[in-house]
Structure 1
């Protein structure tokens, strides 16, 4: 229960801080404003850093179903814990998006519109208007690289004190590349919460932000186990 609650709080915080920075002070679906792409990228990355040090000792701070599934494939978490984590992550993301909606709805002239609340998407009308193939490749490949960093920095030969910072900075880099393409997901729960409230195209396109990160995470887990995992002597 403590682990699941930690994952819920962590994912709640990621959505509120990251998507909140994007929608309240960062970027719209028509272009950058406010803190801009760099500021939004750091908001998501720093949210992971602070949560890694806050709840990492409790649950490992997955706050991302793609990470949890990759850890399950790599044999680093039990099936029961993985299921509990994923449920908690989706609940936390939905609650985070709900709080963000309550905040945003108080702005003068507020309307949801397409891809509201920092929802992920692609195609005409969404940021760089990239096509489906570009969106899928971006999400799958960047999730793959993200998981490799996570596996190596949290391994027995990694520096546990610096792992949270390295993982958070990796997420910053991922956002710098992917925001114009998809708004950056690499996290099914992060995409799920805002899409549930936004509806419309955000909800119709949600499948990609569930499938692509999970594919990238599974491939990373298999690659890590086959190539990089340190064998016990």
Structure 2
């Protein structure tokens, strides 16, 4: 994203405001007894402030994001120079400290940094590393990618807020889901009477995640670093997006948070926006099958679809092991809800997976109906609809990769058998969606022949 030629002092003021206000809102949520809405406050405040201030400073608001941009620059890609990065980080830390001092003076209390009850420091630090990496990765792909250097896009703020939403409710129970050293260190300094130092442990892993996100950014967008593009970039994109999605599903469900559906949808929205122009952002074998059947993407031949599905399933299995490890070996089963039959659950999975795939085709693939700005939000809303509609019936997995990832996490043989059945009906739903989309985007000539509309007006 191009930054308007603004004096450094004004850019620093924008960074201070962006670091101060989101933390300020979360602090009031947590300390006033409304902690369940803290992630929502963080996500929405980040979204609106990103839109309000991006043209001034780039809307980093976090030392982790600034380090990711600086690392990207050092690797030969788009980003921030070292001098500007250092100034930004100092201002962001000051904003976090001032915010912490404000709500400490109001409530005479502060955050208690550290792992959630029953979790280890190892798990908490791994969570901070992973979700800082995901968050910075989304920022890089939606604001720094050369694809948006000239005309930009209008979805970057939505993507950033959506990833913050996912981190808050997936990683929150394990580590707090802070993902921002300015918030972490600011909270620790503000409550220094309780002992200072734990924030530095978190900050190290948050910054490591940020640096690693720049490496992933280079892997999925080699052209941005003046390197040759290979088919491998698309498969890496699918693996990253699927891993983030399955990990978020597992952590959010195991956390038993009422905001699980929102967190999962947020992760999908963020990753679709981040990687949609790289691989198509399928992250779901049923979607890949739907794209193949629809014929809208001439590059999606059976061989490539097979590679896509293989990469999605592999990363899903790794993600399943990961969320099981983070939750001390606990997992959950792939099974119908209490009081519902396997047949009812399978039909629910088929119908709502088909709905998801159909919407993906309509808003992101089909030439006559696709949107260039709202596609990620529409796809995420499908998860919200399904989660609230059939979550109690089937679990609303909607994705063979999620079914396989959960089953592979150690949920038991019964879970594996149900996952296979779910996968069958999910793929059937994707196939039906692809076929229906093919018919809807065809036209009948005078001779009665059906011709595909590949970009026809």
* TM, length-normalised to structure 1: 0.85
State the shift of 1:150 in Å. 1.1
Please point out which of 355, 360, 368 is paired with 1:145. Answer: 355
The corresponding residue for 1:101 is 324
State the shift of 1:98 in Å. 1.1
The corresponding residue for 1:160 is 372
Matches of 1:136 and 1:144, distance apart in 2: 12
Instruction: Answer with 1 or 2: which has the greater Rg.
Output: 2
User: Does the CA-based 8 Å contact 1:41-1:173 persist in structure 2?
Assistant: no
State the shift of 1:225 in Å. 0.8
Moved over 6 A (4+): none
State the shift of 1:227 in Å. 2.0
Q: Secondary structure at the match of 2:266?
A: helix
The corresponding residue for 1:3 is 234
User: Structure 1 residue 71 and structure 2 residue 253: aligned?
Assistant: no
List gaps (5 residues or longer) in structure 2: 1-231, 444-452
State the shift of 1:229 in Å. 5.1
User: Does the CA-based 8 Å contact 1:120-1:184 persist in structure 2?
Assistant: no
The corresponding residue for 1:135 is 345
Q: Structure 1 residues 62, 201: closer, same or farther in 2, change over 3 A? A: same
User: Structure 1 residue 203 and structure 2 residue 416: aligned?
Assistant: yes
List gaps (5 residues or longer) in structure 1: 27-34
Matches of 2:339 and 2:405, distance apart in 1: 22
Matches of 1:229 and 1:191, distance apart in 2: 33
The corresponding residue for 1:84 is 307
Matches of 1:14 and 1:81, distance apart in 2: 21
**Which has the larger displacement, 199-208 or 159-168?**
199-208
Q: Structure 1 residues 168, 229: closer, same or farther in 2, change over 3 A? A: farther
Q: Secondary structure at the match of 2:281?
A: coil
The corresponding residue for 1:55 is 275
Deviations 1:123-157 (A, max 9, x none): xxxx4331022111101111121122111111223
Q: Secondary structure at the match of 1:198?
A: coil
User: Does the CA-based 8 Å contact 2:287-2:357 persist in structure 1?
Assistant: yes
The corresponding residue for 2:403 is 191
User: Does the CA-based 8 Å contact 1:18-1:47 persist in structure 2?
Assistant: no
User: Structure 1 residue 225 and structure 2 residue 456: aligned?
Assistant: no
User: Structure 1 residue 121 and structure 2 residue 343: aligned?
Assistant: no
State the shift of 1:120 in Å. 2.2
Deviations 1:20-42 (A, max 9, x none): 1110x22xxxxxxxx22xx1111
User: Does the CA-based 8 Å contact 1:186-1:213 persist in structure 2?
Assistant: yes
Q: Structure 1 residues 129, 201: closer, same or farther in 2, change over 3 A? A: farther
User: Structure 1 residue 22 and structure 2 residue 253: aligned?
Assistant: yes
Matches of 2:432 and 2:310, distance apart in 1: 22
The corresponding residue for 1:46 is 266
CA RMSD across the alignment: 1.6
Matches of 1:79 and 1:13, distance apart in 2: 25
Q: Secondary structure at the match of 2:283?
A: coil
Q: Secondary structure at the match of 1:180?
A: coil
Where relative contact order (Cα < 8 A, 6+ residues apart) is larger, the structure is 1
State the shift of 1:214 in Å. 0.6
User: Does the CA-based 8 Å contact 2:335-2:342 persist in structure 1?
Assistant: no
